[in-house]
Amino acid sequence: MKGKLVLEDGSTFTGDLLGDKPASGEVVFNTGMTGYQEILTDPSYCSQIITLTYPLIGNYGTAEKFNQSRKCFANGFVIGELCEVGSNWQKENELSEFLQANGIPCLYNVDTRALTRRLRSAGTMKGIIITTDTPKNECDELMAIPLEHRTVDKVTTPEKYVLENDGLHIVAMDFGVKKHMLESMHERGCKITVVPAHTTAQEILALQPDGIFLSNGPGDPKDVLDIVETIKQLIGKKPIFGICLGHQLIALACGADTYKLKFGHRGSNQPVKDLRTGRVYISAQNHGYAVDEKSLAKLPFDITHISMNDGTVEGMHHQKLPLFSVQYHPEASPGPDDNTYLFDEFCAMMKKGAN
Ligand SMILES: NC(=O)CC[C@H](N)C(=O)O
């Protein structure tokens, strides 16, 4: 079936459509060469339409163990060539089967280079995926659907659960956590109690953790100011490490500001510099918002990492409290393992305690 992606500004990209549902959402591009399954199951993409700049997708199939969450929360997928027969010893399903099982409409055979150039020059915008014969009034109705807010509520765990271990105890606030973040701490011996996003500070402290982890998650950090209030009550009580949305929420809780980037940083090939050592690392990233550097300047924080692409804040550390965070994804999945040292820094911080 022939289909098309129409952007808010009227630009149209045609291709072949897999799946019979239309889709709408914010269209964002990811520049990773591999990792399509991890990207599709990263809850931070909730309600977005993802396009990948790498031209051939699906060539190693999919397997359950690479899922980063319980399901795929994205609204649509737009790619160049869809490989029909993947080749990999771990493969369980073809990508097309995975997309159909998850109900994700996929537009393929699309000029994703032209699409990405459009998003880079005009900025991220809303789009719809439809069949080419969809009547104009239906297209208009779909385009008029407002972007979803408070998507954290959709992706967070409905119930608390525990990953048992005999080391340090971490309470992880799940705003849409990627599985490999939890695995990265678990494989360092930590016991992890994963709690829903709206757990109160009192309930978290009652679990007597050695440290608190604030996860990644979808949407604008300013959508969840109630969670910012919870974080305010946790700061200074226990060592805290935040990643991506967790980083942005810490910034808001401390009185800094966040803003929306023109087209975001998404890919597993994003260079960041650790300003403490001068070393440059290649990182995995997926964010559309960032912490405002100027608003941090008046606060007791050191900027520890910056993006080598645009100089924006990628990490910060409180000058007095055991509190630090990064905007990028040290757990990778997909991406390089360059940055896993941050989980070791969190473990060292928890061993030292809150003071
Ligand atoms: N991966 C994330 O946690 C993303 C954080 C936030 N939703 C953003 O887009 O900036």
Is 90 exceeded by the pLDDT of residue 20?
no
Pocket test for ligand 1, best of 258, 283, 287, 312 (most atoms within 8 A of CB): 287
Please give the torsion angle defined by the CA atoms of residues 120, 50, 225 and 320, in that order, rounded to the nearest 10 degrees.
-70
Which two structure tokens, joined as six digits, stand for 155?
Answer: 């992706």
Identified catalytic residue from 72, 244, 254, 347: 244
Q: Is the peptide bond before 334 cis (omega within 30 degrees of 0)?
A: yes
Beta strands 12-18 and 2-7 are antiparallel
Question: Does the Cβ of 313 fall within 6 Å of ligand 1?
Answer: no
286 labeled part of a ligand binding site: yes
pLDDT the model gives residue 72: 97
Residues 6+ apart with CB under 8 A from 5: 12, 13, 15, 27, 49, 78, 107, 110, 115, 127, 128, 129
Are 121 and 157 in the same domain? no
What ipTM goes with this model?
Answer: 0.97
Question: Does the Cβ of 218 fall within 6 Å of ligand 1?
Answer: yes
Are 139 and 161 in the same domain? no
Residues 6+ apart with CB under 8 A from 217: 43, 44, 151, 152, 155, 156, 175, 176, 177, 197, 244, 245, 246
Are 126 and 221 in the same domain? no
Residue range(s) defining the domain that contains residue 73:
2-144
Question: Does the Cβ of 73 fall within 6 Å of ligand 1?
Answer: no
| Percent over 70 (pLDDT), the chain | 99
**Computed from CA positions of residues 344, 346, 349, 353, in that sequence, does the dihedral angle turn out positive or negative?**
negative
Q: Which of 144, 174, 200 is the last residue of a domain?
A: 144
pLDDT the model gives residue 105: 98
| Mean local confidence (pLDDT), 162-169 | 98
Beta strands 258-274 and 301-307 are antiparallel
Are 169 and 66 in the same domain? no
Q: Which of 91, 116, 144 is the last residue of a domain?
A: 144
Active site residue 244: yes
278 labeled part of a ligand binding site: no
Q: Which of 127, 144, 161 is the last residue of a domain?
A: 144
Active site residue 305: no
Report which of 319, 344, 321, 322 is spatially closest to residue 331, judged by C-alpha positions. 344
At 172-189, the pLDDT tens digits run: 999 999 999 999 999 999
Please name the helix (run of DSSP H) or strand (run of DSSP E) that holds residue 289, with its range, or none.
strand 279-291
* Cα angle value 35/37/42 (rounded, 5°): 95
Are 342 and 224 in the same domain? yes
Are 133 and 162 in the same domain? no
At 203-246, the pLDDT tens digits run: 999 999 999 999 999 999 999 999 999 999 999 999 999 999 99
Are 132 and 233 in the same domain? no
Residues linked to residue 291 through DSSP beta bridges, in sequence order: 258
Are 157 and 127 in the same domain? no
Question: Does the Cβ of 244 fall within 6 Å of ligand 1?
Answer: yes
| Mean local confidence (pLDDT), 14-20 | 95
pLDDT the model gives residue 353: 83
Q: How far apart are CA 298 and CA 272, in angstroms?
A: 23
Number of domains making up the chain: 2
User: What CATH number is given to the structural domain containing 109?
Assistant: 3.50.30.20
Are 110 and 197 in the same domain? no
Are 122 and 43 in the same domain? yes
Report which of 120, 114, 148, 122 is spatially closest to residue 45, judged by C-alpha positions. 148
Is 60 exceeded by the pLDDT of residue 355?
no
Are 334 and 298 in the same domain? yes
**DSSP-assigned letter for residue 255:** T
Three-state DSSP class for residue 343 = helix
DSSP for 199-221, written as a single string: --HHHHHHT--SEEEE---SS-G
At 28-74, the pLDDT tens digits run: 999 999 999 999 999 999 999 999 999 999 999 999 999 999 999 99
Q: At what angle do helices 341-352 and 179-186 cross, to 10 degrees?
A: 60
At 262-275, the pLDDT tens digits run: 999 999 999 999 99
| Mean local confidence (pLDDT), 73-83 | 98
Beta-carbon neighbour count of residue 308 at 10 Å?
A: 15
Residues 6+ apart with CB under 8 A from 122: 7, 9
pLDDT the model gives residue 354: 62
Q: What are phi and psi of 174, to 5 degrees?
A: -95, 100
Are 125 and 167 in the same domain? no
**Computed from CA positions of residues 29, 32, 38, 44, in that sequence, does the dihedral angle turn out positive or negative?**
negative
